[in-house]
Structure 1
Amino acid sequence: MPLDLSLLLLVIFLPSTLVIYLCSLTKKATNFREHTLGHRQFSTATIVATIVACYCPAGLLSQGITHAYKGISYIVYRMTIGLFPLLLLSWLSGRMQKFVSHLSMPESMASVYGPYARLITALFEVWSAVIIVSLQIRIICDTVGLLIPSANSLMITILITVFMVVYAMFGGARAIAFTDVWQCIVFSTLILVLAWCVFKNSGKTMVEIIDFIKAQKQFELSNLIPSDRKVRSILDYLANSIAPIGPYLVQHIYMGKSPAQARKACLYAGIFSTVVITSTTVVGLLVFVCFPYIPSTVIWDDFLANASSSLKGIVCMIILSFGMSTVDSRLHVASTMLAYDIPKSIRCFRKFIYLHQLKVARVALLAVALLTMVLAFNFPISTLRRILMWYLRFYVPVIMAPFILAVLGLRTSSFTGLVGMVTGLLAMLAWQKWMVSIVGTSTGHVPCMLMNGLAMAIAHYVTTQHKTNK
């Protein structure tokens, strides 16, 4: 090939991101709060773009292409993931007036349930960030190796990661917000261009494509909730509405000027992310129409093998912008937990860390980035995804019920919060041991979360009655 278009686009994309980062330095962070949240003067559009950018991971496009054949149940599943978690977060953010002065979700948990709840929440997020970032870096490496054969994929991936670490370390939330806006513009524009190119290359009219899809059995409305696994489907949809919410998303609420702005930003971000996810699903459906008899395990490779150089360049830029915008945000939030929330929960570290918070945050970000690179280059994507699924299995039952109750106004003791978290953990372990064989799914997030909330309500009532009687 006389010209590697993917490499050319990469050479244009990275310096453009560097220019955006340099523009963000016009107002530098002078303390830890400004480094963590920026100056809290972001426009609603900027917060929307940062939410969407960190919410859409690098594997979004390949998943849309490899799983589109599953039919209407998968399409609704994707729409659920895109819309409902951010709608729920929008509803919650309008009720977080008492938490607006906080720097993180663990700090909000601490204000209600004490330091142990803060420590548990922060550890969950750090662990999640390590796995998510490792997965994104591995996908970026594989993408570069597949779509830019003229370059050394390992060296290019290290260069991209170092670049992200530098602007996240020294630019903080402001630099990440600016670069995320740019990356959001890139992938949201190119995903529409990709959908149009695949449609034109299919050689079919829109009517023919719709008729072909309607003729497939898996796209019938009766398969939305199959009669043989209604309970499993309902549990999956409920879990998808809650599981994606985490400290990395809640962080954007604290970046807003007010809960009202955060509520609007989450609402608009839910609509925007649904459009992006729907576009990747449309690309997957078009690829399915072009290769209807190709097994899902090889359809991604077949799609790229038959793609033109311009199409490969577009795919490469979409995946890189997805991955980079997720990595910088997750690294930033993880470093905040390590420099602020975890030391605040451990008494012997409080005084020392407080004097050097900004330096500790930067060192922590670098340490997490190095750890994620080691994991990314030594474990395959399948292994990292299995670890992530294991984490998500326990996060919702342990963390989400106390957080939602705190936002809704519950004020109780540290003991009550710990009772709920332990109950959620034990409920999920019991679900995995006994309920999976009965219900047919390991997705017990919502029932176990409800057990957490019920245990907290009972513990709160008992302790309150005890104090009253005493």
Structure 2
Amino acid sequence: MTLNLDSIIFISFLLASVVIGLFSSYGVRTIKEYAIGNKNFTTATIAATIVATWASGNVFFGMVEETYKNGLYQILGDCADVICMFSIGIILAPRMGEFLDKLSIAEAMGDLYGTGARAITAITGLTMSVGVIAAQLQVSGLIFSYCFNCPTEYGIIAGGVIMGLYSTLGGVRSVTFTDVIQLITFATMLPTLAFFIFDKMHVSSILSHPEVTQRFFNFHEVFDFTRPKSLYYLCLFLFNGIPGFGPAFFQRVAISKDTRQITKSFVIAGFIWFFIIISIDFISILTFSAHPNLVPINVVKFIIFDQSYPGLRGFILAGIMAMIMSTADSYTNSASVLFVHDLCKPLGMKIKKELLITRIISAILVLGAIGLSLASNIGTGKISLMQFLIAAHMFYMPVVTVPFLLAVFGFRSSTKAVLIGMAAGAITVFTWEQFLQIEHIPGIIPGMVANMVFLFASHYLLRQEGGWIGIKDQAPLIAIKQERSARIKKFIKSIKEFNFSKFMEKNSPNNELMYIYTGLFACISLYANMATVNHYIKLNLSELFQIITPSVLFSATALLSYPLWLEPWKRCEVIAHIVWNIVSFYGLIFIGFLFAIISSFSTFQVMILMINLIMIAVLVRWQWALTMIILGAVFSVNFANIYLPGSLNLEAISLRLQLIYILLFIGSLLIIFIKPKQERQSLVEEKVLHLGTRLVAQEKQVLDALSLKSEFIRNMQHEYHTPMTGIMAMSQMLYDSHDNLSDKEKKEAAEVIFKSFVRLESFDSNLASLAKLNKNEFQLKPEDINFSELLQERIKTCRKLYEEEDSTRGFIVNLPDEEIRIWGDKYYLQQMLDNLIINAIMYCEHGLIEITLERLGNRFLRLYVRDSGIGIPPSELLEVFGEFMVSSKTRTPSGGRGIGLALCKKVVTAHQGNILAESDGESWTLFTVTLPLR
């Protein structure tokens, strides 16, 4: 073995993975920590480990080889993986709340259908895991042989030892942490390799060859299901698209904190995986277009050694090895837990040191996978890597996936019916593969169908208990449905109440100087394009430039002269907004795209276009920026095709590639960077507006605070002194040490000041209102109020202002379909709702808050606010509505406030309603408010 740059990069990656993995495994003491950790993983970490587990080494080899060999057939099959991830995140995740505390898929099946189902799940999961690990080791043998020119068998053994080392000792924390590093490695490697190969070819020749078109764009052939090949890849599409919930992927669900994190993780993973499969398929297309006569099993080796250079070659080998290790360690970890936790326990074996035995089993599983990989013919031409992967899942999906997916959707049956279905699935697979041997239909799909048919038949024919009874934990699903319904209603309402003037205002600068700067920038952009465009293009299209130049300068001058506009024009702000949008669209987007097209996307024109688009993206909302950019691209292409025939010296397909690249780049920029920034800015503006409105109302009310009872003095010292101390201390620190503080420390100090201010302002508001309501001459200011809409608004505002970002509490809001309107004082009803909601948030840190609104006939409404928090002692339920009366469970040494519920009582009484408190004193509290509609 000779050391070179590539082998040094490869060895460094292996050492880094082992060291990082072992370091991150420190502190694992129980099998639960080994299996699912402490559920403190971030959403980004879980998404990374999902992709890293999915992107196995045999998947990379298989996708490259199969895409090179079968073209569009394989590409569509690869896209099913993305559909699978999105379906888990969007459809299945909200229904999986009851499985979050399970260590494995087998434990979940055991709780549903008994010990027999648990043992069967563990056995099929073990066989599948060993098969997947063996496939990874086979690929690792190839990688070691490529890197060190050694026999494949040595590479299999070396890869097994390295992977087994940190996955055996570390546990899931080690696996997830190294998965993040490995994802970064191969996600960087793939586009680098693709662009390197792409750079060596002429862009217009990539897709122009007839063989490329026939293999990668013949949709008619692919969707002709009379062909055996189309039928086979339809089965492959179903295999990839149906969530199998193998041991490793169920573990990714189990390590999540809640269903919302599962949803986010799988959706993010879906987008990342889509980017990865595009890169892999693009590499295959590029390789085929340049070298269409390669032997498919040698394609990856050809790409590594003939399509790259020293340094990049080592980086590619490390990236592929990262894919191998990330999948193998995940399956090793989950399979060892299956054996000890779900196979030994149901069989009655008593294990005292579960963690130690789990690690030993993990090592034995790796040794078994090494033996299977050495004995098999994977990747030699007799059986492809993709076929072996399907074979590894051959019994798991027909036996376990079907009943588990049905359980997730709410169908529950008896143990007898499920075991009959499992047996039918296994027998069907065995019969299909051993006797029927229909090559173009793998037995895995008929086996799943057989399981489902026999499960339903045995359930209904044998009259078993259960059926479509629904899921146990419906709170996350209900919350998502309510959020979706609220978004739809909000969207419909925004369309019905669309205001063109406000729309233009939101998507235009609010600074007079910005109008001048935009006009100046349009002039500079035009002059830059004119100065850098090819001289022959200007001669050939002289008439076009005679139109472009004055039209852009005229429109830009309209903005430059904005300070000189007539006052009536300035007062009608919508005119300025419309002019700004027209000039920006025409002078920066449309003209920018047009210059890029007529210059054949020369470097300077593309650079100027990018600067124009980024400037637009910064100045307007990202949705409107994306809309204008897409319209500008479409209009410029159509304009060039209609009015400038023959001016395009790029082939149509090349032009599309360039435009698609620019649109994808800008779209990604908008979504990844601009969108979050604008959302944060909108939230800040909403908070400022909310607090500003409340502060204005307090200016007069705070003057009446002197008439409160003597109890006020005791409470005031605590309620004013504590937040003021925070404000003064943090303000002093910022003043004295501003230049020496880090951004994080400044942000934390500002957060302390803001929260102290909110607490102080809330106390002031409640106090002033309570004082007013105690006056005999007090009068309400009633008006017609949409109480349903007001309740939704206050829930949203209070959650934004008082709920922590990492909160695990659940929220269920049950609103009637029809609007409930009430005649009352909006300000005081809003304060009453705020206090009830804020109390629920403050005293229910981890449980569930349920808010229900209903109409009682034609005369009353009823509001329920229930939380699973600390509760109120039953003996104090009548006292909590008294002024300055505080529950013993929330009382502090300094007294506590005792104002919020007293204010609620006063507001409800003033509206001729009533409020009632109920609690078991330990785990829940319910406030019931009844108000007359008139």
Quick one: which amino acid aligns to residue 208 of structure 2? D
Q: 1:399 to 1:153 in 2, by over 3 A?
A: closer
Partner of 1:273: 273
Partner of 1:167: 166
Q: 1:189 to 1:304 in 2, by over 3 A?
A: closer
Q: Is the 8 A contact 1:131 1:372 kept in 2?
A: yes
Q: Is the 8 A contact 1:10 1:317 kept in 2?
A: yes
Residues 47-58 of structure 1 correspond to what in structure 2 (within 5 A)? 47-58=46-57
Which shifted more, 232-241 or 255-264? Answer: 232-241
1:210 is paired with a residue of what secondary structure? Answer: coil
Which shifted more, 154-163 or 236-245? Answer: 154-163
Q: Is the 8 A contact 1:114 1:413 kept in 2?
A: no
2:397 & 2:182 partners in 1: Cα distance?
29
Partner of 1:395: 396
CA RMSD between the two structures: 2.7
Q: Is the 8 A contact 1:75 1:281 kept in 2?
A: yes
Q: 1:259 to 1:340 in 2, by over 3 A?
A: same
Residue 120 of structure 1 and its aligned partner are, at CA, apart by: 1.0
5+ residue gaps, structure 2, are: 467-934
| Corresponding position: 1:85 with 2:84 | yes
Q: Is the 8 A contact 1:96 1:259 kept in 2?
A: yes
Q: Is the 8 A contact 2:141 2:152 kept in 1?
A: yes
Residue 84 of structure 1 and its aligned partner are, at CA, apart by: 2.3
Partner of 1:199: 198
CA deviation profile, 1:287-324 (whole Å, cap 9, x unmatched): 11220233434444444442433342232112111111
Kindly indicate whether structure 1 or structure 2 has the higher relative contact order, using CA contacts under 8 Å at least 6 residues apart: 1
Q: Is the 8 A contact 1:6 1:313 kept in 2?
A: yes
Residue 388 of structure 1 and its aligned partner are, at CA, apart by: 4.7
1:60 is paired with a residue of what secondary structure? Answer: helix
Q: TM-score, normalised by structure 2?
A: 0.46
- Aligned partner (choices 208, 213, 216) of residue 216 of structure 1: 213
CA deviation profile, 1:148-169 (whole Å, cap 9, x unmatched): 33x6766565444333323222
Partner of 1:327: 328
Residue 398 of structure 1 and its aligned partner are, at CA, apart by: 1.7
Quick one: which amino acid aligns to residue 359 of structure 1? L
5+ residue gaps, structure 1, are: none
Residue 280 of structure 1 and its aligned partner are, at CA, apart by: 1.0
Partner of 2:377: 380
Residues 227-238 of structure 1 correspond to what in structure 2 (within 5 A)? 227-229=225-227, 231-238=231-238
1:66 & 1:267 partners in 2: Cα distance?
27
Partner of 1:359: 356
Which shifted more, 428-437 or 276-285? Answer: 428-437
Partner of 2:317: 316
Q: TM-score, normalised by structure 1?
A: 0.89
CA deviation profile, 1:161-219 (whole Å, cap 9, x unmatched): 33332322222111111011000100001111111111123x322x3213237863222
Quick one: which amino acid aligns to residue 397 of structure 1? P
1:59 is paired with a residue of what secondary structure? Answer: helix
1:393 is paired with a residue of what secondary structure? Answer: coil
Q: Is the 8 A contact 1:50 1:177 kept in 2?
A: yes
Which shifted more, 182-191 or 274-283? Answer: 274-283
Residues 413-452 of structure 1 correspond to what in structure 2 (within 5 A)? 413-432=414-433, 441-452=440-451
What is the percent sequence identity of the aligned residues?
A: 27
CA deviation profile, 1:37-94 (whole Å, cap 9, x unmatched): 01111001100111111111112333333233322222111111x2122233322222
**Count of residue pairs brought into register by the alignment:** 456
1:94 is paired with a residue of what secondary structure? Answer: helix
Partner of 1:61: 60
Residue 35 of structure 1 and its aligned partner are, at CA, apart by: 1.3
1:167 & 1:6 partners in 2: Cα distance?
24
1:407 & 1:226 partners in 2: Cα distance?
34
Structure having the larger proportion of residues in helix: 1
Quick one: which amino acid aligns to residue 169 of structure 1? T
Residue 243 of structure 1 and its aligned partner are, at CA, apart by: 6.6
Q: Is the 8 A contact 2:74 2:233 kept in 1?
A: no
Q: 1:138 to 1:297 in 2, by over 3 A?
A: closer
Q: Is the 8 A contact 1:109 1:406 kept in 2?
A: no
Partner of 2:142: 142
Residue 248 of structure 1 and its aligned partner are, at CA, apart by: 1.5
Q: Is the 8 A contact 2:43 2:265 kept in 1?
A: yes
Residue 133 of structure 1 and its aligned partner are, at CA, apart by: 1.1
Which shifted more, 64-73 or 53-62? Answer: 64-73
Residues 109-148 of structure 1 correspond to what in structure 2 (within 5 A)? 109-148=109-148
Q: 1:332 to 1:216 in 2, by over 3 A?
A: same
Residue 436 of structure 1 and its aligned partner are, at CA, apart by: 5.8
Quick one: which amino acid aligns to residue 336 of structure 2? S
2:388 & 2:75 partners in 1: Cα distance?
25
2:140 & 2:247 partners in 1: Cα distance?
24
Quick one: which amino acid aligns to residue 143 of structure 1? I
Q: 1:144 to 1:316 in 2, by over 3 A?
A: same
Which shifted more, 335-344 or 387-396? Answer: 387-396
Residue 2 of structure 1 and its aligned partner are, at CA, apart by: 8.8
Quick one: which amino acid aligns to residue 398 of structure 1? V
| Corresponding position: 1:39 with 2:35 | no
Quick one: which amino acid aligns to residue 267 of structure 1? V
Residue 13 of structure 1 and its aligned partner are, at CA, apart by: 0.9
Residues 233-272 of structure 1 correspond to what in structure 2 (within 5 A)? 233-242=233-242, 245-272=245-272
1:411 & 1:64 partners in 2: Cα distance?
37
Q: Is the 8 A contact 1:46 1:181 kept in 2?
A: yes
